[in-house]
Amino acid sequence: MIEDFRFVQGQRYTLACYLTIAVAARRAGYRGVCAFAECADYLDDDSKIAIGAFWSPTYDRWTLSAGSRFRHVFSNIPQIR
pLDDT digits (tens, 9 = 90+) for 5-56: 666 665 577 888 888 999 999 999 999 888 998 999 899 999 999 998 889 8
Residue 74 has pLDDT above 80, yes or no: yes
- What pLDDT is stored for residue 47 in this prediction? 93
Entry pTM = 0.75
Helix axes 33-41, 15-27, angle to 10 degrees: 90
As beta bridge partners, residue 61 has 56
Q: Give the integer Cα–Cα distance in Å for 53 and 23.
A: 16
Whole-Å CA distances, 45 to 6, 7, 49, 60, 64: 26, 28, 6, 12, 11
CB 28 within 8 A of CB 46: no
- What pLDDT is stored for residue 25 in this prediction? 93
- What pLDDT is stored for residue 42 in this prediction? 92
For the chain, which residues make up each domain, given as ranges? 15-76
